[in-house]
Amino acid sequence: MSRCLKIDSEKPDAENLAEAVRILREGGVIGFPTETFYGLGADARNEAAVEKIFRIKGRDFRNPLPLIVANENDLIPLVEEIPEAAQILMKAFWPGPLTLVFRASSSLLPRLTAETGKIGIRISSHPVARLLAEALSGPLTATSANISGGPECSSAEAVMDALGDLTDAVIDGGTTPGGKGSTVLDVTVSPPLILRAGVVPSDLILKTLNGC
């Protein structure tokens, strides 16, 4: 079975956090908690690690991988531009469960974008997810920690049951809220287009964009 690293979301254990980051930097894949479900994390700059994500999940290569970054400065080199609508929504909903789809920078691995030229990114409101991205000083993959098509996981135990020893480690950060995943919104078109309904309601997004 995969190694389990216990990390209290309120008082993160520095030693276990450092071990998780070491695994990521060395090309490993870990399960980690987010503000919705558990995610499957790898250093998004590491081609071999990204390929491993697809193998673990049995994921179709035509499906892009969403990313988590620690802050807006880390977003800038990953995208071609940040449209005005995106800036409004980032201010209103980040950190939080809103994934914005941007035109991807040419520096990103083609596998991440599924060669669509677009990439979904958010700043997570979960402290462990943000700490991992911050320690990496770069993007962390944030696809759900499950086999593609299978149920999403709200606990480290569920991730380990679903994936067994396919991951290098799983961070046990307690139970996540579950329910819905992040809302996914394409900001490369005008008006922005909801690609997946999620935690952030579509009517609230519309009101925010309209200044209501």
Mean residue pLDDT of the chain comes to 96
Label residue 211 by pLDDT band (50, 70, 90).
confident
> With pLDDT > 90 as the criterion, what percentage of the chain qualifies?
93
Count the domains in the chain: 1
Q: Taking a C-beta distance cutoff of 8 angstroms, is the pair 207, 187 a contact?
A: no
Name the token pair of 162. 């679903």
Pick from 130, 132, 152, 103: which is nearest to 43 by CA? 132
Task: Look at residue 108 and give its three-state secondary structure.
Answer: coil
Residues spanned by the domain of 109: 3-209
| pLDDT at residue 202 greater than cutoff 80 | yes
With DSSP H G I counted as helix, E B as strand and the rest as coil, what are the percentages for the chain, rounded to 5? Answer: 35, 20, 45
- Provide φ and ψ at 66, rounded to 5°: -75, 160
Q: What is the pLDDT of residues 18-37, one digit of tens each?
A: 999 999 999 999 999 999 99
> With pLDDT > 70 as the criterion, what percentage of the chain qualifies?
99
Name the token pair of 64. 């892009």
pTM of the model: 0.95
The torsion of the CA quartet 12, 77, 106, 45, rounded to 10 degrees, works out to -20
Residue 13, pLDDT score: 87
Residue 1, pLDDT score: 59
Q: What is the pLDDT of residues 125-141, one digit of tens each?
A: 999 999 999 999 999 99
| pLDDT at residue 212 greater than cutoff 80 | no
Residue 122, pLDDT score: 98
> CA torsion sign, 115 to 51 to 77 to 79?
positive
Please give the residue that has the higher pLDDT: either 12 or 192. Answer: 192
Q: What is the pLDDT of residues 40-73, one digit of tens each?
A: 999 999 999 999 999 999 999 999 999 999 999 9
Going across the sheet that includes 118-122, the strands are 140-141, 67-68, 118-122, 98-103, 183-186, 193-196
Q: What is the pLDDT of residues 70-99, one digit of tens each?
A: 999 999 999 999 999 999 999 999 999 999
Question: What's 135's domain CATH number?
Answer: 3.90.870.10
Q: Which is it for strands 183-186 and 98-103: parallel, antiparallel or unpaired?
A: parallel
